[in-house]
Copies of this chain bind each other. A is one copy, B any other.
Amino acid sequence: MNIGDVSTRSGLPAKTIRYYEDIGLVKPLRGKNGYRTFREQELHKLAFLGRARALGFTIEDCRRLMALYDDDDRSSSDVKRVAEEHLAYINAKIADLKSMSNTLSHLIEECSGDNRPDCPILEDLGGQQASN
């Protein structure tokens, strides 16, 4: 398989696949024309990577997870720990974003959105006390 086929079948852009090779996540063979040659094995790894990335795992997490995947003597607790740490990170991020969303929603609600200059959004950003 050339990179184009693997790209189609894995759903990952060719650029990304080359990048993953660069950083040592996959190691395709090379044909005598210099083209990368992928086996099912690499396709499978790339699909794994695609799914892990879609769950938001960092590249370094992916590296760890793949190492565990390849290790028949792994403990599921090691996998679980990686996942739990990532979940905590995601949940923290959700909390941050929700806080922003709440603040923004309130400000937007109060803004008349007409052609006058008065705007509680800018007042808030400008640090002025609300004039009530």
Which A residues are closer than 8 A to B by beta carbons? Answer: 44, 47-48, 51-52, 54-56, 65, 68-69, 71-77, 79-81, 83-84, 86-87, 90-91, 93-94, 97-98, 100-101, 103-105, 107-108, 111-119, 121-122, 124-127
Contacts and interface: CB of A to CB of B under 8 A. Distances in A.
A69 to B, nearest CB: 5
Contact of A55 (B51, B73, B103, B115): B103
Main secondary structure of the interface of A (DSSP, over half): helix
A104 B105 CA distance: 28
Contact of A80 (B81, B119, B126): B119
Contact of A84 (B48, B98, B108): B108
